[in-house]
Amino acid sequence: MKTPPSSEPKGYIPSKLSLRGVGKYFHARGRSLQALDNISLDVSEGEFVCLLGPSGCGKSTLLNIIAGLEQADAGSLLCDGEAVASPGRERMMMFQESALFPWLDVLDNVLFSLRLKPGMNAAERRETAEFYLRLVGLERFHHAFVHELSGGMKQRVALARALAPNPRILLMDEPFAALDALTREQLYGDLQRIWRERRKTILFVTHNVREAVCLGDRVVLLSPHPGRIQRQFSIELPRPRDISSVEVARHATEITAALKGTERHAEEAA
Ligand code: ADP
Ligand code: MG
């Protein structure tokens, strides 16, 4: 157990994730592009944070840095007080495309993410994979192959696969963006239930304002060129939330106005 700095008040809870002044540049075809500038963000244990912003504002880059898939060029990133430099089992990522292995069935796809988990025998791995497939509602599809699944079912398998090693942090990059509205709504309900039951810390990237309001305790609005934190919105609505509710729409209207401001700003700067 880590002791908090002595200057902190009693009852101090350290951040699960702490970013300070994170910056990132890309170099392509002789040009340098600043993707992120001075990103500072604290995420508490168990918090559900949505990163919202227009395409190209650096959301994926930021998530990849937190995942350890990319390195920041400036600033620091701590997870549980330790510097993050590489991917780790405590931070699992989920993408827009399910990225499942087509030659494996559903159960084997989930088992794959447990292959490096130490201290588990084959029976325990199987039990764990089955548990998470049940959690995402796919208990009857263990032996289906990827091409036999709908888009929503593929994302459910990808979610079970990300959850199976029991990460503390789930990093989700527009995981539902390619799905139809009805399937997405079911997944919003399931994700909120799983987040509560399994007590995960979730960072969820989206460009969909209502989605961000429906899911997040907090919505972090990024503006582009370079990606910066523009504003943060705390969403204090009871759960489970319904994306079609008046309350979600009300918050979404306010955030959309701020988002339009960032886009106008970016056009003027370009
Ligand atoms: P978002 O996920 O918000 O759409 P990204 O993080 O993918 O944004 O990209 C942010 C900016 O960085 C964009 O201008 C994009 O073109 C650029 N970028 C992202 N990845 C690379 C890369 N590997 N090489 C060069 N430029 C990149
Ligand atoms: Mg992206």
Q: Tell me the per-residue pLDDT of 174-196, one tens digit each, with 9 for 90 and over.
A: 999 999 999 999 999 999 999 99
How far separated are the first and last CA of the chain, in Å rounded?
48
**Predicted pLDDT of residue 2:** 47
User: Residue 119 C-alpha to ligand 2 middle, in angstroms?
Assistant: 35
Handedness of CA 142, 147, 150, 156 (dihedral sign): positive
> Predicted confidence band at 1 (pLDDT cuts at 50, 70, 90)?
very low
Count of beta carbons in the 10 Å neighbourhood of residue 76 = 13
Give me the CATH topology for the region 41-90+168-270. Rossmann fold (3.40.50)
List own/partner pairs for 122-129 with CB under 8 A and 24 or more apart. Answer: 128/164, 129/160, 129/164
32 ligand 1 Cβ < 6 A: no
pLDDT tens digit string along 162-175? Answer: 999 999 999 999 99
Q: Which of 188, 218, 225 minimizes the C-alpha distance to 203?
A: 218
Is the pLDDT assigned to residue 96 strictly greater than 50? yes
Q: Residue with structure tokens 């007590």? A: 199
Q: What is the pTM of this model?
A: 0.92
Spell out the residues 6+ positions from residue 83 whose beta carbon is closer than 8 angstroms to its own.
76, 77
Q: Which residues surround ligand 2, an ion (CB under 5 A)?
A: 60
Summarize pLDDT for 27-85 with one digit per residue, the tens: 988 999 999 999 999 999 999 999 999 999 999 999 999 999 999 999 999 999 999 98
Rounded to the nearest angstrom, the distance between the alpha carbon of 56 and the centre of ligand 1 is 6
Going by alpha carbons, the residue nearest to atom 5 of ligand 1 is 58
In the prediction, which pLDDT does 14 show?
74
- Ligand 1 centroid to residue 144 C-alpha, Å: 35
Write out pLDDT tens, residues 103-160: 999 999 999 999 878 889 999 999 999 999 999 999 999 999 999 999 999 999 999 9
For residue range 183-238, list pLDDT tens digits in order. 999 999 999 999 999 999 999 999 999 999 999 999 999 999 999 999 999 999 99
pLDDT of 116 reads 76
Q: Is residue 12 scored above 90 in pLDDT? A: no
Task: Report pLDDT for 261.
Answer: 79
Taking the CA of residue 54 as reference, the ligand 1 atom at the shortest distance is 3
Residue 10 confidence (pLDDT) above 80: no
Q: What residue owns the CA closest to ligand 1's atom 26?
A: 26
Q: What is the residue with the minimal CA distance to atom 13 of ligand 1?
A: 56
Q: Of all atoms in ligand 1, which is nearest to the CA of residue 225? A: 14
58 lines ligand 1 (CB under 6 A): yes
In 146-252, which ranges are E strands?
A: 169-173, 201-206, 218-223, 228-234
Q: For the chain, give every domain's residue range.
A: 41-90+168-270, 101-166
